[in-house]
Amino acid sequence: MDDFLSLAAQFLASLSGMLTRRSAIGGIGAAAILSALPFQATGQPKRKPPRLVPGDTVGLIAPAGFVADRFGVETVEETVRAMGLAPKTAPHVLKRNGYLAGTDAERAADINAMYADDAVKAVFAIRGGWGCARILPYLDYETIRGNPKLLVGSSDITALHLAFAARAGFATVHGPGVSASWPDRTWQAFRTIAFEAATPTYSLPEAREDRLVQRLNRTTTFRPGTARGRLLGGNLSVLSALVGTPYLPDFSGAILFLEDVNEAEYRIDRMLTQLALAGVLGKVSGVVFGACTNCSNPGPSYGNFTIYEVLDHHLGALGVPAFQADLFGHIAGNLSLPVGMEAEIDAEAGSIRMLEPAVG
């Protein structure tokens, strides 16, 4: 046994040396090796990010699409101050490289710098768009792993959430970009998780309608039941594009949560088919699909599957609890989900109950 432990220690030491190489090719190769190991095999303890307290400094980054102008950044900074926090804007936030907020190296450098800065207590993405997957090989995962801080954002930020779940081992928050509107329900949900270290339960509020049967805020149950597991997921388009890369965490026993926007029914069908063929759907213990905003084919509707039929085909056949409810996604009332933390879902009630705090 001693010989085995000695060999294992030598292997991990060699692996650590590989991870320090700074070339993009070396980074990709090391990522592939590390992703094949369980997180505990790195020898790093699983730690939680600190809870936010009023006055904390938070870093503002633009890891994907560009920010239009400095006036938008000023509004974002005001939003952060309204939370009782102090904004620290990354150097390259106002850079532009085509549809991206600067080059891949610049956007990655902003993230690396925020996680290396002891004064920064959390990192907020201003917006999504596209581009986070491009910077994954350039991130300093050793520094990120050693300095747990909440990463907050959604949409394209899904790529960062999943990479952190695979490579860093601490919770992040799939929630509104800081440039979002932040209505009270959204703000209270985030505050409860990030400031109070609480474990809330989410469900749709009762709609006040002059109807015999409620039509708004409905839960669509594809298979009833309850399930527990760690929350993993995000934007379906972004998640499916990471299949086959070293930046996708293990979904065994996970509660998979998904959402999307501006995708026709057949494209949702195609991406869920990809997750099924890749073995992702067959591993999970339950599924929650949030809002699928504008997910309808603009052409003739006759002969077309509805989005609910597509979801029922894929999720109802899994044999695990699964439902759809507009609890998160590209909607004004986007609620915060702690990625990587244990939760329980009730598919008939349409609820998500957090079982452990995301922060310490």
Q: N- to C-terminal Cα distance for the chain?
A: 36
Residue ranges of domains in the chain = 57-194, 201-207+216-354
> For residues 149 and 122, is the Cβ–Cβ distance under 8 A?
yes
The DSSP-derived string for 168-223 is T-S-EEE---TTS---HHHHHHHHHHHTT----EE-PPPP--SSSS--SS--EEEE
Tokens at 298, concatenated: 């603009």
* Residues ≥6 apart with Cβ < 8 Å to 327: 202, 203, 204, 288, 290, 291, 335, 350, 352
3-state secondary structure of 129: coil
Tokens at 224, concatenated: 């009833």
Q: Is the dihedral of CA 137, 141, 143, 147 positive or negative?
A: positive
User: What per-residue confidence (pLDDT) applies to 215?
Assistant: 83
User: What per-residue confidence (pLDDT) applies to 22?
Assistant: 37
Q: What's the order of all strands across the beta sheet hosting 255-261?
A: 201-202, 351-354, 342-346, 226-235, 255-261, 286-293, 322-324, 220-223
Residue type, 202: Y
User: What per-residue confidence (pLDDT) applies to 300?
Assistant: 65
Task: Report the 10 Å Cβ neighbour count for 95.
Answer: 17
The DSSP-derived string for 49-80 is PPPP-TT-EEEEE--SBPP--HHHHHHHHHHH
Placement of tokens 């009730």 in the chain: 346
User: What per-residue confidence (pLDDT) applies to 328?
Assistant: 97
* Residues ≥6 apart with Cβ < 8 Å to 131: 63, 64, 65, 99, 100, 101, 104, 107, 156
Q: Which CATH architecture has domain 57-194?
A: 3-Layer(aba) Sandwich (3.40)
Q: Catalytic residue positions?
A: 155, 259, 330
User: Phi-psi region for residue 192, left (φ > 0), alpha (ψ -120 to 50) or beta?
Assistant: alpha
The C-alpha atoms of residue 164 and residue 151 are separated, in whole angstroms, by 9
Helix (H) or strand (E) run with residue 121 in it: strand 120-125
Q: What are phi and psi of 237, to 5 degrees?
A: -60, -45
User: What per-residue confidence (pLDDT) applies to 312?
Assistant: 98
Reply yes or no on domain 201-207+216-354 having CATH 3.40.50.2030: no
User: What per-residue confidence (pLDDT) applies to 46?
Assistant: 64
**The model's pTM:** 0.87
User: What per-residue confidence (pLDDT) applies to 44?
Assistant: 38
Tokens at 268, concatenated: 């949702």
User: Phi-psi region for residue 233, left (φ > 0), alpha (ψ -120 to 50) or beta?
Assistant: left
> For residues 168 and 148, is the Cβ–Cβ distance under 8 A?
yes
User: What per-residue confidence (pLDDT) applies to 329?
Assistant: 97
User: What per-residue confidence (pLDDT) applies to 9?
Assistant: 46
Residues of the chain scoring pLDDT < 50: 1-45
Pairing between strand 86-89 and 57-61? parallel
